[in-house]
Amino acid sequence: MPKCFKRDRFVCISGFCNCFGFRISDFEFSTAMIFFVILLILTFIAQIVEIFIPPLEWMYNAHIYIVPIIVFYGAMSLPFPLVMILAFFAGFMLDALTAQVIGGRVEISLGWSILLYAVLAAIMHGLRPLFIRGRWEVHCIMSGLCTSAILLSQYLMISFRRGSLVFTREAWWQIGGPGVIAMIMAPLLFWVLHTLSQATRNPYLPDEEAYE
C-alpha cells in the first residue's frame, strides 16, 4: 500500500489528536494505531478465554491470567496515551465481568481495576529503557509480579470490605500462583506480540527509536 494512501486515511484522527497536543506524525500515529487496535482485540479475546480456563487444582485453585501480560507488553511497545487507553480497556472489562453487586453495595467499585492497570502499566512503561536495551527478562518477571499485585490488591480490598484480613496458604497460592504462571508464559507471549508488532511496523519498537 502506498505510504501516501495510508497517510490520507489517518490524517483526520491524527489531526484531531494534534488539536489536543499529541505531537505524533501522521504515519507514526497510523502504524502505532494498527498494533494498538490488535492489542485491544487480543485483550478482549484473552479476557473471554480466561473465563473458560478452569482453575488449577494442583495449585490451590490458582487461575491463569493472560490479559495482564498483553497489557504489560503494550505498556512497553506503545506511546503513553495509548498505554492508558489499553489499561482502561482491560480494567473496565475486568471490573464489568467481576464486579459483585450484593444487596445495595458493590464489593469492588467500578474503576478500581482501571486504576490498578493504569498504575502498573505506567510502571512497566517506565521500564521501557530496559526493553529498548533488550532486557526482556526484567519485564517477564515484572509481568508476574504485577499480575500478583493485581490479585493482592483485590484481596486486600475485599478483606477490608468484609472486615477481616485472613492470609491462608490457599490465599497466598491464589495470589502468587497466577504471577508465577504469568512469568512462565510471558516470554512466549512477548515473542508472539513482538512478532506482531514488527509485522505491523509499530514505530515504537526499540529498533526504530528515532520515531520516539
Partner 1 sequence: MNRSSIIALVILGLILAYFLSFGAEGTRKLQAGFYKVVSPFLSTGSGLKKQITSVSSGLQTLEELERDNTSLKVENRALKATNQALRDVENEVNRLRRALAYRERSVFRLVPAEIITRDSSTWWRTATINRGKTDGIEPDQPVVTDIGLVGKTTTVAENISIVLLISDENCKVACSVEGTREQGIVSGERVTGSVTPMLDLNFLSKQANLGPGPKVYTSGVGGVFPSGLLVGVVQSFRVRELDGQARVTPAVDLSRLEDVFVVTGRK
Provide the binding-site residues for partner 1, judged by CB under 8 A: 17, 20-24, 48-52, 54-55, 57, 60-63, 79-81, 84-85, 87-88, 92-93, 95-107, 109-112, 114-115, 118, 151, 154-155, 158-159, 162, 166, 168-171, 173-174, 178
Number of residues that make up the chain: 212
Q: What are the cell numbers at 104?
A: 445495595
Q: How far is the CB of 7 from partner 1 (least distance, A)?
A: 20
Nearer to partner 1, 170 or 208 (CB): 170
Q: What are the cell numbers at 91?
A: 480494567
Q: What are the cell numbers at 69?
A: 501480560
* Residue 79: C-alpha distances to residues 30, 36, 180, 182 (Å): 12, 10, 28, 23
Nearer to partner 1, 127 or 136 (CB): 127
Q: How far is the CB of 95 from partner 1 (least distance, A)?
A: 8
- 117 phi and psi angles, rounded to 5 deg: -60, -40
Residue 198 DSSP symbol: H
Q: How far is the CB of 195 from partner 1 (least distance, A)?
A: 25
Give the number of other Cβ atoms within 10 Å of residue 185's Cβ: 18
Q: How far is the CB of 157 from partner 1 (least distance, A)?
A: 9
* Residue 183: C-alpha distances to residues 18, 47, 48, 141 (Å): 38, 18, 21, 5
Nearer to partner 1, 132 or 187 (CB): 132
Q: How far is the CB of 209 from partner 1 (least distance, A)?
A: 16
Cα four-point dihedral sign 202, 78, 18, 207: negative
SS3 106: strand
Q: How far is the CB of 53 from partner 1 (least distance, A)?
A: 9
Nearer to partner 1, 136 or 170 (CB): 170
Nearer to partner 1, 50 or 208 (CB): 50
SS3 3: helix
Closest by Cα among 46, 48, 51 to 72: 46
Nearer to partner 1, 3 or 162 (CB): 162
